[in-house]
Amino acid sequence: MRRKMAAGNWKMNGLRASLAELGLLASKHPAPVCEVLICPPATLLGWASEALLQSEIRLGGQDCHSEKSGAHTGDVSAAMLADAGASHVILGHSERRADHGESSDMVAAKARTAHMAGLTAVICVGETEAERDAGTTLSVIGAQLQGSLPATATGTNTIIAYEPVWAIGTGRTPTLSQIAEVHDFLRAELSGRHGAEAEAFRLLYGGSVKPSNAAEIFAVSNVDGALVGGASLKASDFGAIIDALDAA
């Protein structure tokens, strides 16, 4: 059985005052059935891990460098994230692929380094609106998946997030059958690559998940949880999504 996961991606949002939302979330959800992960900006990780010492909420980074250490001004290493209290790291988010030109090869190199540092990688894939309109969604996602998974990937150290680029931060979501098609496809691709172990990989849906649509998305085949951006910033909204997942 795969443990469901509610993951929050704060992106470039959050100052120390935002830790109050984490405290609220932890006190309202002392023992969630699903695994709860929050990925705040790297600057908050150390503070957040102190604030969550008594909590089951896990912490993650939003990116890491592919090298273990060295002359890379401004970058953060996987070991630094782990040292600051992270157990996970999001890699290959479409905003990084678009804003920083990250290729799937680069994502795979980062994921390998993250695995070596003991982190679980949350690897993102997803098509643009033009790719969906052109009917190439599955081939784009298949290529991203194969290119972004390093040889070190297992069902326990790697989670896949399907995030259609056109659904991120737009309030638009794919139909439930479109989500099912991609998630079933991801499971099949993983099984071609990993055999029976494919069943252990958790597949998250991301893109405009909110309290009002969470329950129907969590009922979709092969959806093991969500990667949530905007709605993860407020404990009340993210808490409602955790409740929907626990009830699914």
Catalytic residues, by residue number, are 93, 163
CA-based nearest residue to 80, from 35, 58, 113: 113
169 binds ligand PGA (CB under 6 A): yes
Q: Which is nearer to ligand PGA, 57 or 228 (CB)?
A: 228
Piece in contact with ligand PGA (CB under 6 A), picked from 18-26, 45-53, 147-155, 163-171: 163-171
- Contacts of 171-180 with CB under 8 Å at 24 or more apart are 171/208, 172/207, 172/208, 173/207, 173/208, 173/209, 173/213, 173/217, 174/207, 176/216, 176/217, 176/219, 176/220, 179/205, 179/217, 179/220, 179/223, 180/220, 180/221, 180/222, 180/223
Burial of 171 by CB count in 10 Å (0-12 exposed, 13-18 middle, 19+ buried)? Answer: exposed
Amino acid identity of residue 145, one-letter, is: L
Stretch that binds ligand PGA, among 30-38, 147-155, 181-189, 227-235 (CB under 6 A): 227-235
**Which of the residues 114 through 133 are near ligand PGA (CB under 6 A)?**
none
Nearer to ligand PGA, 79 or 92 (CB): 92
Which position among 37, 78, 108, 209 is part of the footprint of ligand PGA (CB under 6 A)? 209
- Contact between 230 and ligand PGA per CB under 6 A: yes
Q: Contacts with ligand PGA: how many residues (CB under 6 A)?
A: 13
CA distance linking residue 206 with residue 183, whole number of Å: 12
* 228 scored as a contact of ligand PGA (CB under 6 A): yes
Min. distance of Cβ 233 from ligand PGA in angstroms?
9
Q: Rule CB under 6 A: say whether 224 interacts with ligand PGA.
A: no
Residues of this chain that interact with ligand PGA (CB under 6 A) are 9, 163, 168-169, 206-209, 227-231
